[in-house]
Amino acid sequence: MSLFFIVALPLFGALLPGLMNAAGRSATAGVTFTVTLAAFVGLLTNLPAILAGNVVMVRVDWVPLLGLNFSLMLDGLGFFFAFLILGIGLLIIAFARHYLSRDDNMGQFFTYLLLFQGAMVGIVLSDNILLLLVFWELTSLSSFLLIGYWKHLPEGRQGARMALTVTGMGGLAMIGGMLILGQIAGSYDLSVILQHRDLIQADPLYVPALILILLGAFTKSAQFPFHFWLPHAMAAPTPVSAYLHSATMVKAGIFLLARMWPVLSGTTEWFMIVTSVGLITMVLGAVIALFKHDLKALLAFSTVSHLGLITMLLGTGTAFGAMAAVFHILNHATFKAALFMSAGIIDHEAHTRDIRRLGGLRKLMPVTFGVASLAALSMAGIPLLNGFLSKEMMLEEAYHTVLFSSPWLVPTLAVVGALFSAAYSFRLIGHVFLGPVRDDYPAKPHDPGAGLWLPPSILVVLVVLIGVAPFIVEPLVKLVTASVLGDTAEVPKAYFKIWHGLVPALYMSITAVIGGLLLLFVFNPALRLWDSAPRPEAKVIFEGLINFVVRLARTITLPLHNGSFSRYAAIAIVAMVAAGYYAWTTGTVGAATYRMQAAGAVPIAGWLMLVAATAGMVMMHRNRLLSLILIGIVGLMVSTGFVFLSAPDLAMTQFTVEVVTIILLLLALNFLPNKTPVESSVLRRVRDTGVAVVGGLATFGLSYHYMLRDPISTPISEFHLANSYKGGGGTNVVNVILVDFRGFDTYGEIIVLGIAALLIYALTETLLNGPVRARLLNRKPDQARSGMRHPMMMVVLTRVLFPIIVMVGFYIFLRGHNEPGGGFIAGLIVSIGVVMQYMASGFGWASARLRYPYHGVIGAGVLIAGLTGIGSWFVGKPFLTSAFTYVRIPPFEKFELATAALFDLGVFLAVVGAVMLSLESFSRLAGLANGPSDDNNPMDVDPSRDDHPTDLTASKEKAV
């Protein structure tokens, strides 16, 4: 199966659980299981190629100019992690089906789970570091949803926010490091970067890139000092915890360390940072885990400890250390997933995870006891279980590692970490399952059905099988190790076996196990000592830091962002003028290359009217209606200026926009007082006047000097002028830019325009259905209204003009590719015609004759434009690449057919829908404020029709 499908199946399959939710819990879990199984089987189809030592790669150019390509790579390391993600994912899905209660929204849960799964698979299969970063952040977002799935729990919401904050900040740091790495290597493809070890390590930016990348890996894998977020994520449902700790999320940071090992390891910086952080995390996590009373918290800190163990092994920079790390990743995934599911079973049946309230479960839950005990003994490193083998390899590597010139530091800390690991594993077995049966359990414990105990049992079978026959997984581990090492070293020849003789690692292991047992015997005194010892609380420190940052941000931003537009404008203008002044005084300005042209009487007269209208608006801006009239004059003069400067497209656009916005503002003025009250002091007005004058003079000076000189570089307009016809098939350069050269911008703009209109509609709906409705109904006009709302002359004129306006709009639309016009202008023209019907005949009359809702018109426009852009993919062209040709149909002359016309049609529909939906929303508010519609419309040819509304409510119902 193609790698694209393996990544896409979970991501697109996330749509299915929500759709299947109404079909029942089993159907929802079944479709989720099927999607994951399909991806898992697809992964296995590539196994023969991986075993043969090949690397499977697929690539599709996405944004090649930025180096962002959808390129995927499957080697031994990627296969190993994808196998764990999908394989354990299948068991987690089966477990979650029986674990979640009937009150839980299973469709929502499995949707989040598949998104999380797809993001993780995307990380491990990405060959492009920018694509990897996209999936990396998607894991943070999807894990946020999973951790906070139980939204009713405050600790769930807090844990989700903490996880998102810590891993999100680390992700931002990692973005910087990856970009540096890509710049050094000259490519953002991992397959290329991994071939430039010497170049990267010799670059002076190697250390900054290393630190930034390690920050991303350490935060994701909960390494010290970022370890605190992971235990708080335990507020998530147990299936999430089991998945997150064993095969996903926290393993993403470990994967990154392994993936970047060939180019980043082997230096003093790598060894010192990674090994030290791993050692501290391993010991600290193990010590804290021992004294946790919450069963999931104990397992969470044990995960922190074992992640530190793997990090330390990768930090040593040796081939044997890398192989031991790979082996422990496999072993940890099996026993930790089994342990978390066992903890979930105990919580599910006993209704508590508090170890102090448990004990004696061996007799009440024998199956769970067997599963959990074997997994815990493996975690403790007991022989004949898989955890023992990788622990021995860790101790062997630690014995030969010298840190800070001390040959005993790493071995000693490794033994301490292993000792506490054995102690908390023994505590889990002894304090939860052994001892007498109690009579005060919150609920009567008993073994659940097979749906809950079978998934962890499968993993425990692997724990035992690998432990007694390690040669089974030896080829796989060495294959993955070869992918980690790359060309930097050969895979060690060491054999995986239970007995290696009387080696130092054996004595270290015996010391750890015996020490763990002794520590468990003195647990109560040790607990009292631990509780009485002063120590920093990571959660308190984190919350204090967050609160400090929030206060600092408020201190800085609130004085600036206080909601005053005049303040924002003043700050922006002063900053721009200061930057311009600095550039002017420190730079050089060449001599003028053009002379001022003589201005005629007409341009001077137009300029004087523009200045007069602007000055009048400033002086009389408190009169809202007069200001609106003056703004209209300014807009019309600007349109005239565009005509004078040979920009008819801009002139037509400006003119139509002016008409539409003036109507919109007139409707808005209906709800505002006639006069704007005086709110600013004299000093503030003087300040604003000074800022405005300075900004205006600066803009004038810049324009004056720029227009008298040649441009520094060749303007982009020359490219558009040269390629408009031969590249876009049109002689109207402006329209070709909008629908071809910059079609993606236009597409985004119509989407934003549609969203804005929908928001206006949503706000109107809220107002009409809320307390504001009563205020509007009781609103009294401040002046007498005309007794005739729909004058006969206006009604007749608008209905006669409407077909003509539509014809003009159609004409403007068709000529837009070669003459001034286009879909945007045509949409505004037709909108004006429809608005005239609303103005002349009233909202009720116009809405009753509405055949297509404006929401649908917007959607149709965006859809047509999008499908036009997608169509270019089928001929191997980038999105929104237009095509054109010329045809001749007798007796007509030769004419052009262009796909850009379809895109322009989408623009036309989106503009009409957005403008009309906005104006309709204001009209409905105005209609409610002005009272019922006039039933005696003189031009309603059939007043007895049932669909003729008599009031606003009826009008709304008929329109819907």
Q: Would you place residue 482 in the very low, low, confident or very high pLDDT band (cuts 50, 70, 90)? A: very high
- Encode 697-733: b = buried (16+ Cβ within 10 Å), e = exposed: ebeeeeeeeeeeeeeeeeeeeeebeeebeeebbbebb
Query: What Rg value do the Cα atoms of the chain yield, rounded?
Result: 36
The residue out of 468, 502, 533 marking a domain boundary is 533
In a shared domain, residues 649 and 741: no
Query: What DSSP element (H or E) covers 887?
Result: strand 884-887
Average pLDDT along the chain: 87
Q: Is residue 391 within 8 Å of 418, Cβ to Cβ? A: yes
| Domain that residue 437 falls in | 265-533
CA distance 23 to 27: 6
In a shared domain, residues 799 and 934: yes
Burial of residue 852, with CB atoms counted within 10 A of its CB: 0-12 exposed, 13-18 middle, 19 or more buried: exposed
Instruction: Judge whether residue 949 has pLDDT over 50.
Output: no
Asked whether residue 583 is domain-assigned, the answer is no
Asked whether residue 215 is domain-assigned, the answer is no
Instruction: Specify the pLDDT at position 280.
Output: 94
| pLDDT-above-70 percentage for the chain | 94
CA distance 473 to 329: 12
In a shared domain, residues 528 and 392: yes
Instruction: Specify the pLDDT at position 645.
Output: 85
Q: Is residue 95 within 8 Å of 455, Cβ to Cβ? A: yes
Asked whether residue 568 is domain-assigned, the answer is no
Closest to 631 in 3D by CA, of 667, 605, 659: 659
In a shared domain, residues 270 and 375: yes
Q: Is residue 382 within 8 Å of 373, Cβ to Cβ? A: no
Query: Span 334-344, mean pLDDT?
Result: 94
Q: Would you place residue 951 in the very low, low, confident or very high pLDDT band (cuts 50, 70, 90)? A: very low
Instruction: Judge whether residue 530 has pLDDT over 70.
Output: yes
- Residue whose structure tokens are 């044997």: 320
In a shared domain, residues 746 and 662: no
In a shared domain, residues 645 and 738: no
Instruction: Judge whether residue 215 has pLDDT over 80.
Output: yes
Over residues 243-288, the pLDDT tens digits come to 988 888 889 999 999 999 999 998 999 999 999 999 999 999 999 9
Full DSSP string of 759-810? HHHHHHHHHHTSTHHHHHHT---SSPPPS-SS-HHHHHHHHHHHHHHHHHHH
Of the listed ranges 140-154, 758-772, 779-793, the one predicted with least confidence: 779-793
**C-alpha triplet 554, 557, 560: angle, nearest 5°:** 140
Over residues 369-407, the pLDDT tens digits come to 999 999 999 999 999 999 999 999 999 999 999 998 889
Q: Would you place residue 787 in the very low, low, confident or very high pLDDT band (cuts 50, 70, 90)? A: low
In a shared domain, residues 819 and 674: no
Q: What are phi and psi of 898, to 5 degrees?
A: -135, 140
Report the residue count for the chain: 960
CA distance 906 to 864: 5
Instruction: Judge whether residue 671 has pLDDT over 60.
Output: yes
Q: Would you place residue 950 in the very low, low, confident or very high pLDDT band (cuts 50, 70, 90)? A: very low
**C-alpha triplet 149, 150, 154: angle, nearest 5°:** 115
In a shared domain, residues 818 and 905: yes
Instruction: Specify the pLDDT at position 151.
Output: 85
The residue out of 485, 510, 533 marking a domain boundary is 533
CA distance 212 to 218: 10
Asked whether residue 567 is domain-assigned, the answer is no
In a shared domain, residues 660 and 740: no
Q: Can you tell me whether residue 595 is helix, strand or coil?
A: coil
CA distance 142 to 146: 6
Number of domains in the chain: 3
Instruction: Specify the pLDDT at position 708.
Output: 87
The residue out of 533, 554, 588 marking a domain boundary is 533
Query: Span 679-704, mean pLDDT?
Result: 88
Asked whether residue 476 is domain-assigned, the answer is yes
Closest to 453 in 3D by CA, of 91, 168, 809: 91
Over residues 900-939, the pLDDT tens digits come to 889 999 999 999 999 888 877 877 776 655 555 444 444 4
What is the value of pTM for the model shown? Answer: 0.74
Instruction: Specify the pLDDT at position 721.
Output: 85
Contact partners, residue 912, CB within 8 Å, separation at least 6: 827, 830, 831, 834, 854, 857, 861
Over residues 446-460, the pLDDT tens digits come to 889 888 999 999 999
Instruction: Specify the pLDDT at position 673.
Output: 77
CA distance 666 to 624: 10
Instruction: Specify the pLDDT at position 592.
Output: 83
Instruction: Specify the pLDDT at position 934.
Output: 45
Residue 126's DSSP bridge partners are: 72
Q: 3-state SS of 135-155?
A: HHHHHHHHHHHHHCCCCCCHH
CA distance 634 to 873: 45
Instruction: Specify the pLDDT at position 213.
Output: 95
Q: Is residue 375 within 8 Å of 332, Cβ to Cβ? A: no
In a shared domain, residues 346 and 438: yes
Identify which of 13-22, 562-571, 925-934, 943-952 has the greatest average pLDDT: 13-22
CA distance 91 to 239: 9
Instruction: Judge whether residue 563 has pLDDT over 80.
Output: no
Query: What DSSP element (H or E) covers 441?
Result: none
**Alpha-carbon distance values, 478 to 258, 440, 450, 485 (Å):** 14, 50, 35, 10
Instruction: Specify the pLDDT at position 132.
Output: 93
Amino acid letter, residue 253: G
Instruction: Specify the pLDDT at position 937.
Output: 44
Asked whether residue 109 is domain-assigned, the answer is no
Instruction: Judge whether residue 595 has pLDDT over 90.
Output: no
Q: Can you tell me whether residue 56 is helix, strand or coil?
A: strand
CA distance 370 to 387: 16
CB atoms within 10 A of CB 370: 17
Query: Span 538-556, mean pLDDT?
Result: 86
Instruction: Specify the pLDDT at position 784.
Output: 59
Q: Is residue 206 within 8 Å of 225, Cβ to Cβ? A: no
Instruction: Judge whether residue 169 has pLDDT over 80.
Output: yes
Q: Would you place residue 946 in the very low, low, confident or very high pLDDT band (cuts 50, 70, 90)? A: very low
In a shared domain, residues 428 and 326: yes
Amino acid letter, residue 2: S
In a shared domain, residues 522 and 624: no
User: Residue 654 has which token pair?
Assistant: 């400006």
Asked whether residue 859 is domain-assigned, the answer is yes
Instruction: Judge whether residue 898 has pLDDT over 60.
Output: yes
- Rounded to the nearest 10°, the torsion over CA 563, 567, 572, 575 is -140
Full DSSP string of 603-669? HHHHHHHHHHHHHHHHHTTTBHHHHHHHHHHHHHHHHHHHHHTT-HHHHHHHHHHHHHHHHHHHHHH
Over residues 490-529, the pLDDT tens digits come to 888 877 888 877 888 899 999 999 999 999 999 999 999 9
CA distance 201 to 149: 43
Asked whether residue 99 is domain-assigned, the answer is no
Higher pLDDT residue, 672 or 445? 445
- Ramachandran bin of 53, using left for φ above 0, alpha for ψ from -120 to 50, beta for the remaining angles: left
Query: Span 478-485, mean pLDDT?
Result: 93
Over residues 825-858, the pLDDT tens digits come to 999 999 888 888 887 887 777 777 777 788 889 9
Closest to 80 in 3D by CA, of 385, 496, 479, 490: 479
